[in-house]
Amino acid sequence: MTTRLPLVLTVDDHPHDECGVFGVSTPHGEGVAQLAFFGLFALQHRGQEAAGIAVSDGNRARVHKDAGLVANVFTPESMAPLTGYHAIGHTRYSTTGANAVRNVQPFLVETMHGPLAVAHNGNLVNAPALRDELLGRGFGLTATSDTEVMTLMLAASGGRTWEERLERTLPAWRGAYSLVLLADDRVIAARDPWGFRPLSVGRLPHGGYAVASETCALNTLGCVEISEVAPGEIVTLQGAEIHRRAAITPAATPARCTFEFVYFSRPDSVWAGRNIHHVRQRLGERLAEEHPADADVVIPVPDSSIPAAIGYSRASGIPHNDGLIKNRYIGRTFIEPTQDMRERGVALKFNALSENLAGKRVVMIDDSLVRGTTAGPLVKLIRDAGATEVHLRITCPPITNPCHFGVDMGHDDDLIAARLNVEEMRQHIGADSLGFLSIDGMMQAIGGADDTPAATGYCNACYTGRYPIEVSQAQPKLGFEGVLA
């Protein structure tokens, strides 16, 4: 049977993260798959292409995974066999390997040491060399994802325990990885030494532990004693026990992804001790200071820009209001739109509130400008609703370079800021003015209040082109698709 993958409508110009990962281990084994389901449900925003859950009862491991949203992939019937004490889950947006069923995670394999399942958030820049090495050693590969490479490397590594095998394998991986492993009797989590992507662990209220890409998933399950998995750390969850060990020396300078604050993370999550919603409000405040505008109303491009619009309004004194209403269910559909609807593009996803816009000078706040495909139609939509001026403000600097660490931003020729300067972008979009937050302003907002130092230890390569590690080996997203169709 062929699984039909959902059509992705091109009405979203935001960068896309690769995925969310989740793991849970309990001493009683009641409802472990349900815990994983609700953990993934809270991480749905990190990836909408596919989802999967693998469960172990101490002897046998089972997996269910498929293309689609979490709520569609898992039904009472599909979850009934997923019984056990330990589980990991994954919700995917692809950045290495095509959006194909063979790449859906977790990957589950049988090894000489028992079952092993792996789910991964991030991207290995040396995946091509690692993949070639496996092929040279006679391994057969069935997918085109770097996560399969990681799974097979772990399966073939030496060591008495999975923790030892993981510790021996980690130094070979260059790039971003927040990952969860499922063995027969435990869940293991690990994070790369640069700390590119978030990963946190917490204690469940009725015994056991859970680990997740974001704290919002742990809060959903009522977790307490929540803390980050440190860069280079291995954390083992085994029923009522948790064990932590520093497996690899953290990088001298961390490289947390600033886009987690700008766009990816859910606003109620906490990372690096900072609440995402509060940081986004500060981004808007700094943006108002750097790029003021004579205007009558501040509106966000929903949903991720709402806190920043509140901050911009508060700092500027310009009233905040809704100007765009978002259809939250249009992102993925099985129905091909007509050509006329394709040409309407943004109107499939947004409607303008003319009552709040007519005769007004509008400041429109958005979190990023990547390919420049939706900003122009949004400006036109607001003008058509009666706005007399539209001033576009972006809560991060211009994106001029691709990401190689788990964010699908496209490549140099896709990025509008790599081709055009600010004035040329303004003309292309049709706004009356265009302003981007500076790197210094962004880092000050992430750092905290005005009297605190700007945040350090973050990756800003997409703005600067200065990558924290060498990326010359990095592979295009579909670089492994040449053989497997």
Query: What residues act catalytically?
Result: 19
Residue 77 contacts by C-beta under 8 Å, 6 or more apart in sequence? Answer: none
Residue 393 contacts by C-beta under 8 Å, 6 or more apart in sequence? Answer: 287, 291, 293, 312, 363, 364, 365, 366, 434, 435, 436, 437
Across-strand partners of 118?
107, 181
Q: Where are the alpha helices (DSSP H) in 80-214?
A: 127-136, 146-156, 162-169
CA distance 71 to 86: 21
Question: Smallest Cα–Cα separation from 54: which of 118, 114, 102?
Answer: 118
Using the 8-state DSSP alphabet, how is residue 455 labeled?
P
CA distance 367 to 306: 9
Dihedral, CA of residue 243, residue 244, residue 248 and residue 251, to nearest 10: 160
CA distance 139 to 394: 47
Q: Where are the alpha helices (DSSP H) in 80-195?
A: 127-136, 146-156, 162-169
Q: 131: how many CB neighbours lie within 10 A of its CB?
A: 23
* 397 SS3 class: coil
CA distance 317 to 133: 59
Sign of CA pseudo-dihedral 249, 254, 256, 257? negative
Whether residue 8 contacts residue 67, with contact meaning beta carbons closer than 8 Å, is answered with no
Whether residue 118 contacts residue 80, with contact meaning beta carbons closer than 8 Å, is answered with no
Whether residue 480 contacts residue 131, with contact meaning beta carbons closer than 8 Å, is answered with yes
Compute φ and ψ for 326, nearest 5 degrees. -100, 135
Whether residue 392 contacts residue 429, with contact meaning beta carbons closer than 8 Å, is answered with yes
Query: What element of type H or E holds 19?
Result: strand 19-25
Q: 179: how many CB neighbours lie within 10 A of its CB?
A: 30
Q: 423: how many CB neighbours lie within 10 A of its CB?
A: 10
CA distance 184 to 148: 19
Alpha-carbon Rg for the chain in angstroms? 23
